Structure 1
């Protein structure tokens, strides 16, 4: 298993037309941002998560869930969703 900044993501992350394949790619992307955008709380959280995963060996999936790295991702809508439970459960005392 690869450790450190060379670890790949489970799936590459598409950000602004660029594919981030490893933790190093994501770190370099964030470091190259303009200072104003780089200092935004969501990007600071992304960088902190990258450091924790790269140096602490946590799961790379954690970094992928960050809002900053997924701000262009639109989840697929499932119109069926969860079926509602229209009936009411009858209790023993109500029978």
Structure 2
């Protein structure tokens, strides 16, 4: 049984790259990864993203998994910082249903 690989499947939402270009299909993402410099291409996150792309293309799975892999690789140097100004203050205790 010969299985066709569907590289032209679009992502549900295009992936925006730092320089403004967008990755629309699995093929766009694969070409972007293969054109990266070798040191960056060999990074663990990019290898995982490429593995996800291959699995999605070969097994006709949802493209969201490949999108997550590429997004994680793109943002691997971004440090997540807690922003306390976005946290709502909670003054008081929660009311239980039995106390209403």
User: One fold, TM greater than 0.5?
Assistant: yes
Are residue 46 (structure 1) and residue 49 (structure 2) matched?
Answer: yes
The residue number in structure 2 matching 1:19 is 22
Report if aligned partners of 1:8, 1:22 keep a CA contact under 8 Å in 2. Answer: yes
The number of residues matched between the two structures is 85
CA gap of 1:54–1:37, structure 2 versus 1, over 3 A, is same
Runs of 4+ in 1 over 4 A off after TM superposition: 70-73
Structure 1 position 21, deviation (Å): 0.1
* 1:13-37: CA deviation from partner (whole Å, max 9, x where unpaired): 0122220000000000000000000
Query: For the residues of structure 1 that align with 2:38 and 2:24, how far apart are their CA atoms?
Result: 23
Q: Which residue of 2 aligns with 1:33?
A: 36
What TM-score do you get using the length of structure 1 for normalisation? Answer: 0.70
TM-score (norm 2): 0.67
Q: Which runs of 5+ in 1 are unaligned?
A: 89-95
Which residue in 1 is equivalent to 2:62?
59
Q: What do you get for the CA RMSD once the two structures are aligned?
A: 3.0
Q: Structure 2: which 5+ residue stretches go unaligned?
A: 94-100
1:49-82 Cα deviation digits (max 9, x unpaired): 0000011111101111121145588xxx9x8x9x
